[in-house]
Chain A
């Protein structure tokens, strides 16, 4: 039997994210592929999330962020969220982009890190413009805690403060949407 194409798996995740976001009372606009994320969600208070959907079917411990625009959004957009979708269980795990990656990779950026990233992106863009060559950078992120294990852990230990600033909500659909985990509000 033919395996479903990765592209169609991505779309299943996007469909589920649209459904859960509107269930939460938000409206969502799907944006062009060149935007560096998949959808722009706005809640009733006008708060915006730029959502990148990462759909997982078999492997739950790595993602790739492809393209300069997407990498730029990840590091420099304050409202950039990554929604992980585990399609076998209909889970949607809502995470804040950089805090989640920092937590997973125990990544502590030095003072120059953002400046260096910015310079690298500008240099790549300049090189692209001047040479006519197209560079397609890809950031591969391998997580020590796989997303399926993280869900198990947070459902068992929702008070684990370690994840409170990065994993914000976990939803599941078993016929209707249910909020399984919600990180406490920050003081």
Chain B
């Protein structure tokens, strides 16, 4: 249940309208689901440290990804990631 989109802290959409990233924060870790139909396998589930997630979000936003969900909790971390 907690892995539903509506409980996610972050949802990022790629400009192709198909690929997306959904992240859930739990303590000092981030569970991430990355979906990209043009890759094989198209869906990857992985974990990151929070510090790594800050770098990752910064990179994705610079590449033009769109934020479709940004929880209040995550907005604090986003602040530290903005260049």
Query: A101: CB under 8 A from chain B?
Result: no
Q: Looking at chain B's contact residues, is the secondary structure mostly helix, strand, loop, or mixed?
A: mixed
Residue pairs across A and B with Cβ atoms less than 8 A apart, 15 shown, are A15-B79, A16-B75, A18-B75, A18-B78, A19-B71, A19-B72, A19-B75, A27-B68, A28-B66, A28-B70, A29-B65, A29-B67, A30-B67, A175-B72, A177-B72
Q: How large is the interface on A (under 10, 10 to 19, 20 to 34, 35 or more residues)?
A: 10 to 19
Interface residue ranges, B against A (CB under 8 Å): 11, 13, 61, 64-72, 74-76, 78-80, 82
> In A21-57, which residues have CB < 8 Å from any B CB?
21-22, 27-30
Main secondary structure of the interface of A (DSSP, over half): helix
What B residues does A15 contact at CB under 8 A? Answer: 70, 75-76, 78-79, 82
Query: B17 to nearest A CB, angstroms?
Result: 11
A27 & B67 in contact (Cβ 8 Å cutoff): yes
Cα–Cα, bound, A177→B73 (Å): 12
Q: How far is the CA of A12 from the CA of B81 in the complex (A)?
A: 11
